[in-house]
Structure 1
Amino acid sequence: MSVDHYENFPVASLLLPRRLRRPIEAIYRFARAADDIADEGEASDAERLQHLAAYRGELARMASGEPAAPAFAELATVVREWRLPVQLLGDLLDAFAQDVVKKRYADYPELLDYCRRSANPVGRLLLHLFARASETNLRRSDCICTALQLTNFWQDIAIDWQKGRVYLPQADLANFAISETQIAAGRWSAEWQALLDFQVERTERLMNQGAALVHQLPGRIGWEIRLTVQSGLRILEQIRLARGDVFRHRPVLGAGDWMRAAGRAFRM
């Protein structure tokens, strides 16, 4: 199980304490491998769901204390040593399985429910590793993780379309008089800009609701989260500057953007 994909979430970076790199890497390997089952290759939907069910079976073995299969031995050790809630890993599998069969979201609350399982468990697991899993911290972490997931959706609208997925809520498309044929054509319009401005503003607000979390985390992890928050906000800023035209100007972070995000992180 390998980590091959760019993520808005940091993966065991140099800012993290050395003792936490091993458990974090184990969690990410699990998440990325399961996500690849749902998303990559030529397998049928039934085969993807079967493989994800096998992963769920391994989580059940971990929860009951049974020996794990060799591919899951490292994760099982991490779960046991750090007393991590196995349900959070199960929530990730639920989201990946949902991606196999569900390609549209009726409204914003439905999309948030998906993010609750696809993104929020990552932040919650990190808080458990740092022994900072208070209710307030968990709530703020959820805001950040959901905002990062939404940012990735708005960044990758064209890419997700090629996979047959539309994460923009159907209700929002209707409210801004946007049809899916416009997404298919990659066609910008004033209405499209208004739709993306609306999503960006809502996502920025959510990110800022969680930003106070950085003051509750010790040392380097606090700086890691600062940089993560600011990099996400910078991508949202790029979407706004491109007037929502993510078809021709998919936002990516270059060296200058990372320097700007780092400067803003120091001022949080």
Structure 2
Amino acid sequence: MSLSEHALLGAPHEYLTPMERPTLEEAQAWCRKLATSHYENFHVATWFLPRKVRPHFESIYAYCRVADDLGDEVEDPAIATRLLDAWGSMLDECYDTPQRSMHPVFVALHETVRECGVPRELFADLLHAFRMDQVKTEYETWHELLEYSRYSANPVGRLVLWVCGYQEESLALLSDKVCTALQLANFWQDVTEDADRGRRYIPAEAMAHFGVEDGQIEGRVFTPEFAAMIESLVVGTRAMLRDGGVISSHVDKELAVTLDLFRKGGDAILDGITAENFDVLRGRPVVSKVKKLSLLAGALIAKMRAGLTT
């Protein structure tokens, strides 16, 4: 049996490699189903993109979704690392000997690679972040957190740009700011959920600066010092979103609608944290359905005003 037939033994059953190679149409349908069933917001956001690039985004999402689950849904870090290494080998197979790829993700992803010329490093960087999660559960400095985001978040934005035909490094750097900010916003939103998984993304240096201790997160002890720390993190993250958001003025109107939607989604998360007076310890601040509908309606209006169609 080939590597791709055995590589994911021990993975969640829905991700096991089939014994027969799927057709491209079957592989793309598999990725589409995964994207629409696991993350509705992704499906909605991609609706604003040109129809011709949607299959590429679905294959990219499927690659990320499976890799993320291999890292997060398998309790034993050693087994998770083995599965992630196998996924990386299958990525190499997709680039080097694509005719051997058996998993639907890589059958579909090869078409994206072939049509768009996507660099392997962008996919490999994402996998590096998932491997990091197996060995590093706390962050000491802001620099460490930004370095993690370089692998966990920034490649996604660069993939979006690349598939849409934008390869300029100047645009990629703006995208990096937006993607890092979105990653950080999720960290500030998910403080308690991450703590339950034994992870802390708030840098220790920020906690020390504001006089916050680890025990406060574990014990859900909210103090004025903790509020001041989260407020500072939110303010810095919002500035990063704003600085990177100018990218929308440098791309076509159709892509700009989608980029604006993601950026505004990040702002909405930060607004939700602010509305809770920065108390992220009593529960996960959420973006209301009304706010989500408002964002989608705004994006739809922008699309119509630009004369864009699906």
TM-score by length of 2: 0.80
1:223 matched to which residue of 2?
A: 257
Distance in 1, matches of 2:125 and 2:87, equals 12
CA RMSD of aligned residues (A): 2.0
Q: CA deviation at 1:233?
A: 0.6
2:25 matched to which residue of 1?
A: none
1:138 matched to which residue of 2?
A: 172
* Higher alpha-carbon deviation: 63-72 or 196-205: 63-72
Contact 1:157/1:246 (<8 A) preserved: yes
* Higher alpha-carbon deviation: 219-228 or 61-70: 61-70
1:57 matched to which residue of 2?
A: 89
1:114 matched to which residue of 2?
A: 148
Q: CA deviation at 1:7?
A: 8.4
Distance in 1, matches of 2:53 and 2:168, equals 19
The residue identity in structure 2 corresponding to 1:251 is P
2:55 matched to which residue of 1?
A: 22
Q: CA deviation at 1:181?
A: 0.9
| Structure 2 CA distance for partners of 1:66 and 1:228, relative to 1, 3 Å | closer
Contact 1:204/1:233 (<8 A) preserved: yes
Distance in 2, matches of 1:188 and 1:47, equals 36
Q: Deviations over 1:69-93 (max 9, x none)?
A: 2112111222122110111000000
Structure possessing the higher radius of gyration over alpha carbons: 2
Distance in 2, matches of 1:241 and 1:119, equals 26
The residue matched to 1:100 in structure 2 has which SS? helix
* Higher alpha-carbon deviation: 249-258 or 109-118: 249-258
Distance in 1, matches of 2:289 and 2:273, equals 17
Q: CA deviation at 1:59?
A: 1.9
Q: CA deviation at 1:66?
A: 4.2
The residue identity in structure 2 corresponding to 1:15 is F
| Structure 2 CA distance for partners of 1:10 and 1:198, relative to 1, 3 Å | farther
Contact 2:93/2:101 (<8 A) preserved: no
Distance in 1, matches of 2:220 and 2:79, equals 32
| Structure 2 CA distance for partners of 1:68 and 1:28, relative to 1, 3 Å | farther
Distance in 2, matches of 1:187 and 1:123, equals 36
1:202 matched to which residue of 2?
A: 236
The residue identity in structure 1 corresponding to 2:111 is T
State the identity %.
36
2:46 matched to which residue of 1?
A: 13
Q: Deviations over 1:247-266 (max 9, x none)?
A: 22422222321355468776
The residue identity in structure 1 corresponding to 2:50 is P
Distance in 2, matches of 1:61 and 1:229, equals 34
**Counterpart check, 1:245 vs 2:297:** no
Q: CA deviation at 1:17?
A: 1.1
Q: State which of 161, 164, 170 in structure 1 corresponds to 2:198.
A: 164
Q: CA deviation at 1:41?
A: 3.6
| Structure 2 CA distance for partners of 1:262 and 1:30, relative to 1, 3 Å | closer
Residue ranges of structure 2 left out of the alignment (5+ in a row)? 1-14, 16-33, 303-310
Q: CA deviation at 1:105?
A: 0.9
Q: State which of 257, 262, 266 in structure 2 corresponds to 1:232.
A: 266
Q: CA deviation at 1:174?
A: 1.1
1:182 matched to which residue of 2?
A: 216
TM-score by length of 1: 0.92
Distance in 1, matches of 2:166 and 2:126, equals 21
Distance in 2, matches of 1:14 and 1:66, equals 29
The residue matched to 1:188 in structure 2 has which SS? coil
Distance in 2, matches of 1:8 and 1:250, equals 18
Q: State which of 48, 73, 82 in structure 2 corresponds to 1:40.
A: 73
Aligned length: 265
The residue matched to 2:249 in structure 1 has which SS? helix
| Structure 2 CA distance for partners of 1:225 and 1:118, relative to 1, 3 Å | same
Q: State which of 101, 104, 108 in structure 2 corresponds to 1:69.
A: 101
Contact 1:104/1:165 (<8 A) preserved: yes
Contact 2:248/2:256 (<8 A) preserved: yes
Residue ranges of structure 1 left out of the alignment (5+ in a row)? none
